[in-house]
Copies of this chain bind each other. A is one copy, B any other.
Amino acid sequence: MADAISFSRGAPSVDIVDIEGLRAAADRAFTNDPAGTTAYGTAVGYVPLRKLLAEKHGVAPEHVVVTNGSMQADAFLFDELVTPGASVVVEKPSYDRTLLGLAERGADLTAIELEADGISTSALRAALEGGLRPTFAHIIPNYQNPGGSTLPLEKRQELIELAEEYDFLIFEDDPYREIRFRGDELPTMYELAPQRVVYASSFSKTVCPGVRVGYLVGAPDLIAKIVRRATNTYIAPDMLAQSVVYELAQDKPRYDAAIANVKAKLRERCDLLADSLEQHLPEAKFVRPDGGYFLWAELPESYDVEAAAGKMADFDVAFVKGSDFLLEGGKSSLRLAYSAVRADQVDEGVQRLAACLNAHKS
């Protein structure tokens, strides 16, 4: 029996993690700052990393809190902002764990259609003109999860205008930004309008997810509230992880080379996946991502992706059914993560995927 080929989890395969770089960084962490690496620290995060991130985003350290992964940061942010019944705009489709986290806190979710170039700002404008008054809009601007689309500059600006006009916050959720394969880097919405945006990112997609380091950038009063929640929850995040990430980033040539390697490998996997889909599953429609980890495929309604997902183990393949990323619908769509499938396995994986899906076509 062949091993399963998994397009399900948005995580890098171990062959593209810079294990030797991490080993050396851990060694330096214990040499350069033994006390800071092993003592409690405080809930703001490892101070040198917080400072580095503040510099990267062009703000003072008071704008930044570093957490055990960015999902933990999201959880604190939602605890702070989402009271039961609070109106929140999400993308349609969007990251399943974000939808769950918002729903669990009683948010009143409005899902706005994702287009090939990100959220439909015209649909959002229409909803706002129709009376929608969100607390915030959750936006994944780069190579969206699961949609794969990227928001162009004009739409970023339009979103900010809408946020200004209708007085809401943009939660810019941006873990994939540095994994761009094609096209020019775009400014973050946080850069364009810091007063209207709280920004989240992570090292899970660039360094590795097992070293759980994420962060928020936002207004100092909001960040101070998050820090208070973090103190009461865990005193301080893991200092070893943050000290290792800091040391990694200090060796800039190696760090840049490691990210360049991740990008090259993911680009190769992404293009192979897109090519194989065109060959083996020609009815699938998808946006070829400019970066990131995910490709979103939509099939004709004759495909029952939910039923196929229930039988994927029989075909030694794995994916995530589209309905997980939507409040309703999505029964003929699916998310394919190409991040963990080595190049030599992609075509075989797509053939298994096609067999699985075609077996559930009416």
Interface residues of A (CB under 8 A from B): 9, 11, 14, 17, 19-20, 22-23, 26-27, 30-31, 34-41, 68-69, 71-72, 75, 97, 100-101, 104, 204, 208-212, 232-241, 243-244
Chain B, residue nearest A236 (CB)? B212
Bound Cα distance A237, B20 (Å): 22
Q: Which residues of B contact A212 (CB under 8 A)?
A: 68, 234, 236-239
A75-B232, A238-B238 known, 20 other contacts, Cβ within 8 Å: A11-B39, A14-B34, A14-B38, A19-B30, A36-B210, A38-B209, A39-B208, A40-B204, A68-B68, A68-B237, A68-B238, A69-B234, A69-B235, A69-B236, A71-B234, A71-B235, A97-B235, A104-B232, A211-B240, A212-B239
Task: Please tell me if the beta carbons of A233 and B72 are within 8 angstroms of each other in the complex.
Answer: yes
Bound Cα distance A204, B210 (Å): 20
| Copies of this chain, count | 2
Q: Which of B40, B210, B232 contacts A40 (CB 8 A)?
A: B210
Bound Cα distance A40, B27 (Å): 22
Q: Which residues of B contact A204 (CB under 8 A)?
A: 40
Q: Which residues of B contact A241 (CB under 8 A)?
A: 238, 240-241
Q: Which residues of B contact A11 (CB under 8 A)?
A: 39-40
Bound Cα distance A241, B38 (Å): 11
Bound Cα distance A39, B12 (Å): 8
Chain B, residue nearest A34 (CB)? B19
Q: Which residues of B contact A17 (CB under 8 A)?
A: 34, 38
Q: A38-B210, A236-B212 are in contact. Are A23 and B26 (CB under 8 A)?
A: yes
Q: Which residues of B contact A69 (CB under 8 A)?
A: 234-236, 238
Bound Cα distance A209, B41 (Å): 9
Q: Which residues of B contact A239 (CB under 8 A)?
A: 210-212
Task: Please tell me if the beta carbons of A22 and B30 are within 8 angstroms of each other in the complex.
Answer: yes
Chain B, residue nearest A234 (CB)? B72
Q: Which residues of B contact A236 (CB under 8 A)?
A: 69, 209-210, 212
